Chains A and B, each alone.
Chain A
Amino acid sequence: MSTLILRTVAPFLTALMLLFSVFVLLRGHNEPGGGFIGGLIAASAFAVHGIANGVAAVRRALRFHPMAVSAFGLVLACLAGLLSVVFAVPFMTGLWIEPTVLGVTVPLSSVMLFDTGVYLVVVGAITSVALALEERDGD
């Protein structure tokens, strides 16, 4: 599988796909997209990287075990829901803050935090499966 062409293109492709996955994640609040689909795109990016440069390279690049990434996403999603306790509103209510950074209003919400959690859960879980399958393939 790992031809010269793929190995040359893979880093650029992976970087682009990861960037695009973040774009899809953020776009998802009001338009088609979101954490789930963004996470799938990011997981495909890691899979491409793995096909080109081997599973070990992906694991090094990720730094954390994919399952830990996934678990961190679940923690974020839970915390996004539990923020509601402080404001005496029902679990998982969307809460907003709109700080102004350099003259631009940036709307941040617990919904986005939750979606980021979903993104990480999907990235971690699917990457973990993909890497396990690629490893088995190499044996």
Chain B
Amino acid sequence: MAATQADLSAALVLTPVPPADWLVVLPVALPLLAGAVLTMLRRSVRLQAALAVPVLALVVLLDALLLAHVHGNGPVTMVMGRWLPPFGIAFTADLAGVLFALAAAVVALAGSVHALADIGDGERRYGFYPFLLLLVAGVTGAFLTGDVFNLYVWFEVLLISSFGLIVLGSEARQIDGAIRYAFLNLVATTLFLVATGYLYGLFGTLNMADIAVKAAERRADLPTMTLAALYLLAFGMKAAAFPVHFWLPASYHTPRVTVSALFAGLLTKVGVYALLRTLVMLFPVEREELSFVIALAGAATMLVGALGALGQSDIRRLLGYTVVSGIGVMLSGLALGSPGGVGGAIFYALHSMVVMTALYMAAGLAGRLSGTFDLNRLGGLHARSAFFSGLSLVLVFAVSGLPPFSGFWPKVMVTKAALDIGAWWLAAAILASGFLTTIAFARLFLLAWWRPAEGDLPAVEMPAGALLPLALLAVLALWFGLFPDALLSAVQSAAQGLADPSAYVRSVFPEVN
């Protein structure tokens, strides 16, 4: 090999990799590997959960270690295949990405435990756990990658696994929901790809740190507004923002409850994360120009979602509209763009991942205990189990944004950020949607939990496997409501890291100051 004699320091990373850097790659590689192994072992139904749950617990641990590392030392980068960036594909973990990744792993772990009680042998043989692990790999990859095209690839990975999950059970109405879901998401993915091709044509690079630097230098000569608008539309569709939100309420109530819970926790938030990454970090000037449009879309998303939730009688559909309403709050934070606004959007996304997943699980349990998801026929759940009722009440308060639960603080942050710049109408929209959500959930709780049951509830056992993750997530919602200080400071530094990516750029290009 003659090439080894040449001086390679200009092209390759020649310093040994510190072991801590592996934390950037392992949360993606591990679920990918485990997903592949479980696909090979599809017939061994017993092994599936026995392997998947510990692997997901390990991913949570790795993400937590990565968070501690990034919190102490700033963003960490590893470049694939030793090539120096921008030619090698970079994985860069910054505070915003790792916070999302950790929340996603916690939600996936809760989902995998919930599946023990909800997903039967047939669906396990069909491949529930492999799909779940591949979904986690895709979501985590999207949160940790530092390359725009690589982000597209992870979107594809998570999309394909979610197709597998949404048709689990193969009922006719599931196929119907899956087609709506797949079609809209494929349109969004295509837009994303078109925008990325255009981006590459303009900048000649796909590395996010490189783009952030080049965009700052060459903004005046390039049609960056077009790019920002395309990304806003593509990721807005992924995040289910008004007016391209309709795929979500049309599809999220059809799959198994565990799958709905995972989708509500993971999928739309990847869209929100991608919006924050592209519009706050790469195209901040363009975001400022678009801020009125984003704010209008955010306000409309909140109100449409909250009003939709009020009008539903199927509790799973009600929750679908609530997911949409939460996206509106995050969009408002994005539109404001200040550290408080973006920090509030990140906080709200983390809160929404935990609480929406837990609410779908609670809805599933309610449906199982009463044999129906129809609000007109539900009832008597409080009499059935006061503990379950208490957990549900925590979640109802948290999702309505009432203190002392986790939904309160991000709403305060975004509302305050809106009032700081005099956008009183946006603040009013946030408060109005919070009020409408409170009514919708008060109605849900009154009818399903407090109202006495009309007949006898079916004699179904309370499954402990379904109650445990629900309790874990509810405790998280309560914990971050009572002690928000650590998370508040973390999301604020995450927002600052997005708004001023100099530390991010330094981690990718150490020689640039």
Contact = CB atoms under 8 A, between A and B. Distances in A.
A90 B22 CA distance: 8
Question: Range of interface residues on chain B?
Answer: 20 to 34
Interface in A85-102: 85, 88-94, 96
A93 B88 CA distance: 10
A13 interface: no
Contact of A91 (B25, B39, B40, B127): B25
B29 A67 contact: no
A72 interface: yes
A91 B29 contact: yes
Contacts of B80: 90-92
Contacts of B1: 96
Contacts of B40: 68, 71-72, 75
A19 interface: no
B29 A81 contact: yes
A21 interface: no
Interface stretch (B30-38, B45-53, B97-105, B368-376): B30-38
B36 A72 contact: yes
Given A78-B29, A78-B32, A78-B33, A93 B82 contact: yes
B42 A67 contact: yes
Nearest to A98: B1
B81 A93 contact: yes
A82 interface: yes
A85 B23 CA distance: 11
Contacts of B220: none
A108 B25 CA distance: 25
> Which of B35, B36, B82, B88 has the most C-beta atoms of chain A within 10 angstroms of its own C-beta?
B36
A25 interface: no
A68 B42 contact: yes
Contacts of B37: 71, 75
A44 interface: no
B175 to A, nearest CB: 15
Given A67-B42, A78-B29, A91 B36 contact: no
A79 B78 CA distance: 17
Interface string B463-495: 000000000000000000000000000000000
A70 interface: yes
Contacts of A72: 36, 40
A65 interface: yes
Nearest to B78: A90
B79 interface: yes
A88 B35 CA distance: 25
Nearest to B88: A90
A87 B466 CA distance: 43
A74 interface: yes
B33 A67 contact: no
Given A74-B32, A75-B33, A78-B29, A91 B42 contact: no
Interface of B: 1, 13, 16-17, 21-22, 25, 29, 32-33, 35-40, 42, 78-82, 88, 91, 127, 130
7 contacts: A68-B42, A71-B40, A71-B130, A75-B37, A85-B22, A89-B17, A90-B81
Given A74-B33, A78-B32, 5 more contacts: A68-B42, A74-B32, A85-B22, A91-B25, A96-B1
